Structure 1
Amino acid sequence: MHQRPQPDDQLPIPALHRWNAVFWVLLGVVPPAIAVADAPGTTRYPSLALLAVLALCYGTVGLFPGNPVLRPRTYLYVLVVGLGAMSYLLNGSAALFVVTLPHFWIYAPSAGASIALSGLAAAATVAGNIVRQGGDGEFLTGNVVFTLIGYAAGVLIGLALRHIAEDSDDRARRLSAELESAQLRLAEAHQRQGATDERERLAREIHDTLAQGFASIIVLAEAARSSLETDPGRSGQQLLAIEHTARENFAEARVLVGSAPQSGVAPGSVARTLRRTLDRFTEDTGLCVTAELPDIECDQPTRIALLRCTQESLANVRKHAAASTVDVVLAAHPYGVELEITDDGRGFVIEDSRGFGLNGMRKRLAELGGELTVTSSVGDGTRVLAMIPMNGQV
Structure 2
Amino acid sequence: MNMQKRLWWDAAVAVSVLACAFLVWLDTAFDHAMPKNALGALLALAAFAVAYGVFGRWLIGRPHPVASQVYLGVVVVITAVGCAADPNIAVLQAIAYPLIGCFAPVGFFGMLAWDVLLALGVFVGLAAGPAGATAAAITAVLSFLFAVAIGLWILRITHWGLERARLLSEVQKAQQQAAVSARDAGAARERERLARDMHDTVAQSLTGLVMLAERAQRQASAPTGAGELPDTLATIEDAARETLREIRSLVAETTTPSVDDGLAEAARRVVQRFARETGIAASIEFDAVVPQREHEVVLLRCLQEGLANVRKHARAATAAATLRSVGDTVVLEVVDDGVGVAGVVDDEEGFGLAGMRERVRMFGGTVALRPAPGGGARLTVSVPSGSGAAAVDPSVADIVEHAVDDEASVRTAHEGGAA
Contact residue 313 and residue 384 of structure 1 kept, 8 A: no
Task: Indicate the SS of the match to 1:31.
Answer: helix
The answer to whether 1:118 aligns with 2:115 is no
In 2 relative to 1, CA 393–235 (structure 1 residues): closer, same or farther, beyond 3 Å? farther
The answer to whether 1:307 aligns with 2:292 is no
Q: Amino acid of the residue matched to residue 43 of structure 2?
A: V
User: 1:31 Cα shift?
Assistant: 0.3
Measure, in 2, the Cα distance between the counterparts of 1:62 and 1:247. 77
- Percent identity reads 12
Contact residue 365 and residue 371 of structure 1 kept, 8 A: yes
Q: Which TM-score applies when normalising by structure 2?
A: 0.57
In 2 relative to 1, CA 74–170 (structure 1 residues): closer, same or farther, beyond 3 Å? closer
What's the Cα RMSD here?
5.1
Contact residue 271 and residue 295 of structure 1 kept, 8 A: no
Measure, in 1, the Cα distance between the counterparts of 2:309 and 2:387. 25
Q: Amino acid of the residue matched to residue 360 of structure 1?
A: G
In 2 relative to 1, CA 165–333 (structure 1 residues): closer, same or farther, beyond 3 Å? closer
Q: Amino acid of the residue matched to residue 142 of structure 2?
A: I
Measure, in 2, the Cα distance between the counterparts of 1:308 and 1:61. 73
Measure, in 2, the Cα distance between the counterparts of 1:183 and 1:393. 27
The answer to whether 1:59 aligns with 2:35 is no
Counterpart pick for 1:374 among 361, 369, 375: 369
User: 1:274 Cα shift?
Assistant: 0.4
Q: Amino acid of the residue matched to residue 350 of structure 1?
A: V
Q: Which TM-score applies when normalising by structure 1?
A: 0.60
In 2 relative to 1, CA 160–55 (structure 1 residues): closer, same or farther, beyond 3 Å? closer
User: 1:80 Cα shift?
Assistant: 4.2
How many aligned positions are there?
322
Query: Which residue matches 1:3?
Result: none
Task: Indicate the SS of the match to 2:342.
Answer: coil
Counterpart pick for 2:191 among 195, 199, 206: 206
Measure, in 1, the Cα distance between the counterparts of 2:363 and 2:137. 72
Query: Which residue matches 2:20?
Result: 24
Task: Indicate the SS of the match to 1:343.
Answer: coil
Q: Map 1:379-394; keep pairs closer than 5 Å.
A: 382-386=376-380
Contact residue 212 and residue 236 of structure 2 kept, 8 A: yes
Measure, in 2, the Cα distance between the counterparts of 1:270 and 1:307. 7
User: 1:25 Cα shift?
Assistant: 2.8
Q: Which has the larger radius of gyration?
A: 1
Measure, in 1, the Cα distance between the counterparts of 2:143 and 2:80. 18
In 2 relative to 1, CA 388–222 (structure 1 residues): closer, same or farther, beyond 3 Å? farther
CA shift digits 1:108-150 (9 cap, x unpaired)? 661232133223313422xxxxxxxxxxxxxxxxx5xx52223
Measure, in 1, the Cα distance between the counterparts of 2:17 and 2:27. 15
Task: Indicate the SS of the match to 2:319.
Answer: strand
Query: Which residue matches 1:328?
Result: 318
The answer to whether 1:238 aligns with 2:239 is yes
CA shift digits 1:314-371 (9 cap, x unpaired)? 3345xxxxxxx423323556657743233226x3342665447123234456779986
Contact residue 123 and residue 133 of structure 2 kept, 8 A: no
Measure, in 2, the Cα distance between the counterparts of 1:188 and 1:104. 41
Query: Which residue matches 2:355?
Result: 360
Measure, in 1, the Cα distance between the counterparts of 2:82 and 2:360. 80
CA shift digits 1:41-89 (9 cap, x unpaired)? xx99xx4543442343243345444489x966446535545554x4xxx
Q: Amino acid of the residue matched to residue 24 of structure 1?
A: C
CA shift digits 1:272-307 (9 cap, x unpaired)? 42035425xxxxxxxxxx524479999995655433
Contact residue 330 and residue 339 of structure 1 kept, 8 A: yes
Counterpart pick for 1:197 among 182, 193, 201: 182
Measure, in 2, the Cα distance between the counterparts of 1:167 and 1:207. 60
What residue ranges of structure 2 are gaps of 5+ in the alignment? 1-5, 59-69, 105-113, 216-227, 259-265, 326-330, 389-419
In 2 relative to 1, CA 64–72 (structure 1 residues): closer, same or farther, beyond 3 Å? farther
Measure, in 1, the Cα distance between the counterparts of 2:339 and 2:8. 82
Q: Amino acid of the residue matched to residue 291 of structure 1?
A: A
Q: Amino acid of the residue matched to residue 356 of structure 2?
A: M
Instruction: Pick the structure with more helix per residue.
Output: 2
User: 1:386 Cα shift?
Assistant: 4.8
Contact residue 73 and residue 107 of structure 1 kept, 8 A: no
Task: Indicate the SS of the match to 1:326.
Answer: coil
